Structures are given as structure tokens and as C-alpha cells.
Amino acid sequence: MTERARVLAWRLAILLVLVAAWEWLTGIKAIARTPGLYWIDPFFISRPSAIARRFAYLASGNARLTLWQMALSTIQSTLWGFLVGVSTGFAAGLVLGRHDRLARIFDPYIVAFNSLPRIALVPLITMIFGFGLLAKIVLAWTIVFFIVFFNTFQGARSVDADLIHSARFLGGSDRQIMRTVIVPSALAWTFAALTPSISFALIGVVVGEFLGGESGGGLGYLIIQSLGTLNAADMMVALISLGVIGIVMALGIKQLERRLLRWRPEYRGRA
């Protein structure tokens, strides 16, 4: 067995054991009556079989709002928030990173806004942008922007001065040097921010959906709705779906990184 296959087999085994234990333990009434173990009860944590049934139902056309529609809404808002956040954060990081005076001027504003807990902005953003897609995107953006901004800023500042000088001696204009030296150099830093960014974008979107109501749709809405109806199975369906979405997005970024940063020694031979 190769190392890869062995790791995969272990992962699968752990998953099976956990799911089996979950199904089995929640079937034993006596456990839920034991003090301290009351939560091992299908009422609270549901059961794999019940979750699978709800999953099938929500995924079918019979549900008023299908799982696919909700997942799509969440994915869409996350990706938009991520894209807008990354591009604006990257641009702002480059500009301020290369202009000392601008950086000094904006510093207190950036620090102040960034230390604001973003959750506190949710009501305000909802008030301004309503309950739909836009509010969720804006919320994700306020988080992603700063993560990407700070990393790119640092990256743009720490570009080796001698790389810039030697490019200048080779005849590079400011614009050409930006494109061929500063951007690629800063990109390595920006990429380090992308994996956390996508998870934070997802957090922003889900929080937005908590408040957004049905018009915003999304898996966050499913969670809040399940809380209202005390439906643990639906909540688990939403959580599992969010987990899968998160993993897929993170893998996508890893792929992109591997392509764009293939010059780095750590990616050598893997491109």
C-alpha cells in the first residue's frame, strides 16, 4: 500500500467509526437519561440516518427552498465577497505599500476600522444594503479586504530594494517595475492571506444570512430556521454542507497558488 492510500484508508476508517458511534449511541435511550450526557440525544445532535433523510428531502425538488439553491446562494456570495475583497485589498496594499506618505496618512483609519468587530457591522450593513445578496457580499468584503490588504502591504514593503534597483538599471520604468518586480514579489505574501480569506468570507456570508431571512437564502438561513423549529437534522445538513464548501474552496486556492507560485522552491517538481 502506498503512503497516500494508507493515509486515505485511515481517514475513511475514522469517519466510519465516528458515524457508526454517533448512530449507535443516539439510539440508546439510557445514555440521554444519564446526568451530563443528556445531549447525546437525537433531539440535540440528530442521527446520521435522520440527517441523510433530511438531506435527501432538502436536496429534492419537494422542499420550498432546496439545499442546492441555498448552497448556491452561499457559494455565490462568498466568491463575490472574496473576489471583490481580494482585488481591492491587493490594489490598496500595493499602492499604500509603495507610497510611504499615503501609508502614514491612512494608518490610523485602517487600524481603527480593522479593530472594529465586523459582526457589529451586520445590522448597519443590513440597514443599508437590505437582506439580499449584496449585504452578504459587503460583509464578506469588509473582512477579506483587510486580511489581503495587510499582507499585500507588508509584501509590497518588503520587496528587496536591490531587485528594484537592478531592474531600474536594466531600463525598467516605474510601471514596468511594478508589474515585473513588485507585484510578483508581493503576490507570495498575498497568497498566504487567501486561505484564511476564503474561510473568513464564508463566515461573513453565513453571519449575514443569519440575519438576512429567506430573501437572502443561503445555508446560514437554514441554520437559523432550524434553530427556530428545533430541527437538529436540518442544522447538521447545513453544517456539513458548509464544511464541504469550505474544503473545496480551500483546495481550489491551493491549486491556484501552486500554479502561480511554481517558481518557489517548495513547489518545485510539483507543477
Chain residues in the site for another protein (CB under 8 A): 160, 162-163, 165-173, 176, 180-181, 184-185, 261-265, 268
What is the rounded CA–CA span in Å between residue 220 and residue 210?
Answer: 5
- In 3D space, the residue among 264, 99, 244 whose CA is nearest the CA of residue 191 turns out to be 264
* Residue placing its CB nearer to another protein in the complex, 173 or 215: 173
Q: Diameter of the chain by CA atoms?
A: 80
Q: What is the nearest approach in angstroms of another protein to the Cβ of residue 197?
A: 21
What is the rounded CA–CA span in Å between residue 124 and residue 111?
Answer: 20
Helix H segments across the chain?
3-25, 29-33, 42-45, 48-59, 67-98, 100-115, 122-129, 133-157, 161-169, 174-177, 183-216, 218-228, 232-260
**Residue pair 207/119 in contact by the 8 Å Cβ criterion:** yes
